[in-house]
Amino acid sequence: MKERVLVGEMSEIGRLVLLGAPLGNPADASTRLGEVLSTADVVAAEDTRRLSRLARDLDVTIPGRVVSYFEGNEERRTPELVEVLTAGHLVALVTDGGMPSVSDPGYRLVRAALDAGIPVTAAPGPSAVTTALALSGLPCDRFCFEGFLPRSRGARRARLRALVTEERTLVLFEAPHRVAAALADLADTFGVDRPAALCRELTKTYEEVLRRPLGDLARWAAEGDPRGEITLVVAGAPATPPARPDDDALRALVAEREAAGRTRRDAVTDVATDHGLRRRDVYAVVHQQQ
């Protein structure tokens, strides 16, 4: 008999709450996560067994119905959960760690709920992305999250070639059995000296953060047996200096600033600074035809 998630009818529209779950240490769970679990009519979990362990660790009783919601049944279960929400019930969505939808099940349900006019909110929690980024020691004022790289070598290398000039710090997820191949391709594409960090088992007993160039990390992974959940953080490409204008363009830029009221000295300095050139070189170009 097909499992259904419907519960009793209610008149008001329901609400979907995305729960940010601990990455490993249950003490990182928010008080609000426990409150939502203890009041939701339905809790949709990526792994119902892991949810049960989390509830025990938090000493939380889940009175609502618990159903599975993972990659293999998302398509089928989403309309059932939307039906529950439309009937006026509170549905909580929780994955194995971090925020639903971020390289985890959830986006399909969020989109379907919004399309049905159902309010969607979140009880924020731990994130492997920002945790690894902060621990990496790499610049984190601007970053780019790429999720999981493609599994096949050709598609993976094509994705990396498209990212080779990305100047923001990159954050990637990778499975332990593919991390050696991924790091080898990263080193080949980005260069063996590109700074990076491999973050493994974040917040768990055997947490490990290796901050090394890509070449060293690739060798480490090839020689060892990486295990656990892995997040890779890779420094962005060095900023590309602006292209040098030709001599005529340089003279025109200086003349433009002089016409705007800048002195010759200041105009030359401005142009040199804008284009990463030495002031004396710009000055020489300006005076070539005088």
Q: To which H or E segment does residue 173 belong?
A: strand 169-174
- Read off the pLDDT of residues 193-206 as tens digits, 9 standing for 90 and up: 999 999 999 999 99
Q: Is residue 34 part of a domain?
A: yes
| Alpha carbon distance 1, 3 (integer Å) | 6
Looking at residue 210, its pLDDT comes to 97
Q: How far is CA 95 from CA 16, 24, 28, 110, 194, in A?
A: 14, 12, 15, 14, 33
Same structural domain, 218 and 265: no
Looking at residue 270, its pLDDT comes to 86
Looking at residue 290, its pLDDT comes to 57
Same structural domain, 119 and 133: no
- Read off the pLDDT of residues 203-221 as tens digits, 9 standing for 90 and up: 999 999 999 999 999 999 9
Of 99, 126, 153, the position where a domain reaches its end is: 126
Q: Is residue 6 part of a domain?
A: no
- The answer to whether residue 274 scores a pLDDT higher than 90 is no
Domain count along the chain: 3
Mean pLDDT of 114-129: 96
Of 88, 111, 126, the position where a domain reaches its end is: 126
Looking at residue 6, its pLDDT comes to 47
Average pLDDT over the chain, rounded to whole?
92
Nearest Cα residue to 19 out of 123, 111, 101, 98: 123
Mean pLDDT of 223-240: 92
Q: How confident is the model at residue 8 (pLDDT cuts 50, 70, 90)?
A: very low
Q: Is residue 268 part of a domain?
A: yes
Of 86, 107, 126, the position where a domain reaches its end is: 126
Q: Is residue 7 part of a domain?
A: no
Mean pLDDT of 60-67: 97
Looking at residue 242, its pLDDT comes to 67
Same structural domain, 19 and 122: yes
What residues make up the domain containing 166? 129-234
